[in-house]
Amino acid sequence: MIPGFPERLRAALPAGVREIAAALATAGRRAYLVGGSIRDLLIGRAVTDWDLATDAHPEEVVRLFARTIPTGIAHGTVTVVPPAGGAFEVTTLRREWGYTDARRPDGVAFVADVREDLARRDFTVNAIAADLATGEIIDPAAGIGDLESRTLKAVGDARARFLEDALRPLRAARFVSQLEFELEPATRAAMALPEVHERFALLAQERIRDEILKILASPRPSTAIEILREAGLLALFLPEIDVCHGEPQNEYHRYDVYDHTLAVIDAAPSEKPVVRLAALFHDLAKPGTREEHGTKVTFYGHQTAGAEIAERALTRLRFPNELRDRVVHLVREHMFDYHPVWSDAAVRRFVRRIGPDAIADLFDLRIADVMGKGKGGYPVGLEHVRRRIESVLARRDALSVRDLAVDGTDVMRVGEMPAGPGVGRVLERLLERVLADPSLNNREILLELIPALAEEETGGPPALRPDTSG
């Protein structure tokens, strides 16, 4: 028993968890806090998911509570929605066997002993349980000792654990990065085994994607990425990064492309997955764009080629289209060049090209990119252009066709144009004039400009245009 832990446990439990535990106890059943929830509680981290285990079978759990969701009832998991609020997964204690798809067990048998359930778990720090009735800690794999030494270690034979669930090597790297632990040598060695790699290749891209996002949200993603590279796993799901290892840069950088990439990821805001993903991909085209001119090395066009690499990789990993497009945009634009002599119109065109919603993310990427060079400093001119952009946004200058005082209906009516792409092109040309001179964004002025632009677009005034009606 950890001194004072029962009191600390009771104080931390949400009301909904206490209700579930009480209902199970009334029915003569045990309730345990398990997995990441007890781990995080023991080391003082915020608990985000309260994982419960019980010796009650799932059908009994469903009968005990008015509101339940059969989340994974075949494998013993029921989501309980208690009167106090919240939703909590309650899983029947079990043992498992056979993992044909490298993900889910082929067979499950419910058990009464929590120690038997803990023996099937991945890492010792996740194989701890707390009896919610007594506060007693059950720790058959000595996970508390590993928590105290900040060590991540597989339960039992690491090879067997990794062959059961092929995602576990990726989770190992993620936990090391997330918890800022050290990886136990035998567990690290098992990650590099050929048979573990073969199982890893069976994983669905979506499962890998979700782990990547969790790694990127950790304090130092570089730790996890380097563990995966050393184990040979990075090349299996992100070969675009793996090939950058040892790729030298030029005099502006202290690190090679790979180490620079890791430094940029770490320097990017952890709460911004879009920026960290962009940091991951921003320089990956450098090996393919490297040119040597005597002693000078250049990577011209790497941002454009890098955007293509990012798009292919993010598509392969099943990232949502909207997120993928935002990342690709940042990679493509990360080499933007600003000069104080820019006119106000140039600043407006820059904001239009980047998009007002992407400016802050792009600046965060630029700051991280400079920090990741390992030579100190801060992006020259960034604060100056930031102030000028804020001034443009504060004036609410038109930056897109949606901001114009006219719309497509006006173009078709005044310009006597049919619906189609030509209408959009006329609006774009109107916007170009307004970007140069915001005072032109006046409805009367723009209506006067439309006929001439429509003539240029369609090949003449309405009476002379060819009949395309068919």
CATH number of the domain that residue 12 is part of? 3.30.460.10
Evaluate whether residue 263 is within a structural domain: yes
Residues 54 and 192 in one domain: no
Please give the pLDDT value at position 153: 98
104 and 162 part of one domain: no
Same domain, 115 and 183: no
Q: Give the C-alpha distances (Å, rounded to integers) separating 229 from 83, 242, 243, 260, 405.
A: 47, 7, 10, 15, 54
Measured between alpha carbons, how far is 333 from 20 in angstroms, rounded to an integer?
Answer: 52
**Residue 298 and residue 161 share a domain:** no
Residue 11's pLDDT band, with cuts at 50, 70 and 90, is: confident
> Given this model, what pLDDT does residue 375 score?
78
Same domain, 166 and 196: yes
Do 211 and 317 fall within a single domain?
Answer: no
Q: Do 127 and 186 sit in the same domain of this protein?
A: no
> CATH code at 171?
1.10.110.30
- For the cut 60, the answer to whether the pLDDT of residue 467 exceeds it is no
* pLDDT band, residue 292 (cuts 50/70/90): confident
Q: Is the pLDDT of residue 462 over 70?
A: no
| DSSP symbols for 15-46 | HHHHHHHHHHHHTT--EEEEHHHHHHHHHTPP
For residue 131, what pLDDT is reported?
95
Contact by Cβ (8 Å): 41, 144: no
The reply to whether 133 and 110 lie within a common domain is yes
pLDDT in tens, 154-197: 999 999 999 999 999 999 999 999 999 999 999 999 999 999 99
User: Of 352, 374, 397, which marks where a domain is finished?
Assistant: 397
User: Contact 331/369 with Cβ under 8 angstroms?
Assistant: no
Residue 469 lies in a domain: no
Residue 427: which domain range?
401-464
The CB-side HSE value for 215 (13 A sphere, CA atoms) comes to: 26
pTM of the entire predicted model: 0.89
In a domain, 260, yes or no: yes
Strands 52-54 and 88-92: parallel
In this predicted structure, what is the pLDDT of residue 346? 94
Same-domain check for residues 53 and 76: yes
Contact (Cβ atoms closer than 8 angstroms) between residue 380 and residue 424 = no
Question: Rounded mean pLDDT of 349-375?
Answer: 93
364 within some domain: yes
Rounded distance, CA 244 to CA 283, Å? 9
Residues 243 and 233 in one domain: no
Query: Which are the contacts of 24, defined by CB distance < 8 A and separation ≥ 6?
Result: 30, 31, 54, 56, 64
Residues 192 and 304 in one domain: no
Is 470 domain-assigned?
Answer: no
Q: 71 and 134 share a domain?
A: yes
The answer to the question of residue 279 being in a domain is yes
**Cα(407)–Cα(222) distance, integer angstroms:** 48
Angle (CA) 120-123-129 rounded to 5° is 70
Question: Based on the structure, what is the number of domains in the chain?
Answer: 4
Domain finish residue from 237, 258, 273: 237
Q: What share of the chain is helix, strand, coil (3-state, %, to 5)?
A: 55, 10, 35
> What is the rounded CA–CA span in Å between residue 139 and residue 148?
13
